[in-house]
Structure 1
Amino acid sequence: MPAELTAEQAVLAARTLLDEALRTGNRRLLGIAGAPGAGKSTLTALLAEQLPAGSCAVVPMDGFHLADVALERLGRLARKGAPDTFDAGGCTALLQRLRTAMPQDAPVWAPMFERGLEQPLAGAIEVGAAVPLVITEGNYLLLDGDGFAPVHRLLDARWFVEVPEEVRHERLIARHERFGKAPRAARDWALGPDEDNARRVAGTRDRADVVISLD
């Protein structure tokens, strides 16, 4: 079973990873998984704020969303956010590049997800080759299927974030409203497609090294 940490302990654990990277000269990759609305981005932002400036880069998995035009062509637009609506192979390839980059190499450019547009943007995040710690966060980093299985072995540390379900639902509904959905549509999406995905993510909890509860 994964060990359980508080947010404060998670900061200390991230510092330990960073120290290992600096001591050995080998970059460390930290993956933070969790259901939609669980607080992955919140925890990631906390870590980036608490670690020394320039010591880490954040590369969200959401940058590998397939664009709406592709999802519509594939008949998956109504399930946007499900595992097969991501480019899992692209995510794996990026993590492999980040893992093997040498200090003399050119920067790696990673995609991001623009929530205002609800679309991925290529080449939006620069990761310098000398950055010792890379944090990636996303729903399916610990999934053993849908093309994500190789991700697990590329990560040096695997964390899972969770919050009480009622809190997670409230956050999701508020997020959807903030980015343009009407209240009823926001609730229907949060308790429909998002909830289907959350159940899939919950099954990956035991593949984590530690679980962080953000009450």
Structure 2
Amino acid sequence: MVGTALDLVGERRRVVLGIAGVPGAGKSTLADAVVAGVAAARGDDWVAHVPMDGYHLADVQLERLNALSRKGAPDTFDAAGYAHLLRRLVDEPDSWVYAPGFERTLEQPIAAAMVVPPSARLVVTEGNYLLLPEPRWQAARAAMTEVWYVTGDDDLRRSRLVERHVTFGKSPDAAAAWVEQTDEVNALRVSAAADRADRVVVNGPEGWSFAS
């Protein structure tokens, strides 16, 4: 998988690799693994990781939009800002490009929490909605050379989601309700666009593998 990512760059100055999938599918884990593998092969400065999560709208904006209860849905992200960042990464490879991060404890975006240096040839980004067939998300997709879609066991995925929500402060009952009423609603929209991916990655018991 690392070799495939390296081949994607080839002789290009910089490429953006997207990793999509439903909530809890393992997108961040795969992104971390690809980044670590590429860094081991080419050096830490050769690769960067910029998740979509930094473009969550802050709670103050979600309250203004009466959308706090749907936090994590496609319209609760600054998709245009995310697309602009990805386009800058491709068009301005010799610049230091700052990007927002997302603080899980606060559940809030943090401005300029990360930076992509000019030395980065591969930028890995990951998020639920990279493949949605909507103009604001298609603008982000247009900046990515490829998008890989992560899939795996749904029961395990849902249990991991509940554990994640509990870890960050929800009660077990509230976490289970959020997964059922919010995460799974979003998952249906994401999975409906899976056929738009360039590659499918299976998150299986023996590790990661490309679907045949």
Structure 1 position 97 matched with structure 2 position 88:
yes
Q: Mind listing any 5+ residue stretches in structure 2 that lack a counterpart?
A: 205-212
**Quick one: which amino acid aligns to residue 167 of structure 1?**
L
TM-score (norm 2): 0.91
TM-score (norm 1): 0.90
Q: Mind listing any 5+ residue stretches in structure 1 that lack a counterpart?
A: 1-9
Q: Which residue of 2 aligns with 1:74?
A: 65
Aligned residue among 130, 138, 157 for 1:141: 130
Aligned residue among 197, 207, 210 for 2:186: 197
Question: What does residue range 137-176 of structure 1 map to in structure 2 within 5 Å?
Answer: 137-145=126-134, 147-176=136-165
Structure 1 position 30 matched with structure 2 position 40:
no
Q: Which residue of 1 aligns with 2:26?
A: 39
Corresponding residue SS for 1:111? strand
Structure 1 position 54 matched with structure 2 position 45:
yes
Question: Per-residue CA shift, 1:32-53, capped at 9, x if unaligned?
Answer: 0001000000001111111122
- Greater than 6 Å deviation, 4+ residue runs: none
Does structure 1 retain, via aligned residues, the 8 Å contact 2:149–2:201?
A: yes
Aligned residue among 111, 116, 126 for 2:100: 111
Q: Distance in 2 between matches of 1:203 and 1:94?
A: 26
Question: Per-residue CA shift, 1:172-198, capped at 9, x if unaligned?
Answer: 000000101000000000111000000
Count of aligned pairs: 200
Measure how far apart 1:13 and its partner are.
0.9
Corresponding residue SS for 2:142? helix
Q: Which residue of 1 aligns with 2:210?
A: none
Measure how far apart 1:143 and its partner are.
0.9
Percent of residue pairs bearing the same amino acid type: 48
| TM-align CA RMSD | 1.1
The higher relative CO (CA closer than 8 Å, separation ≥ 6) is in 1
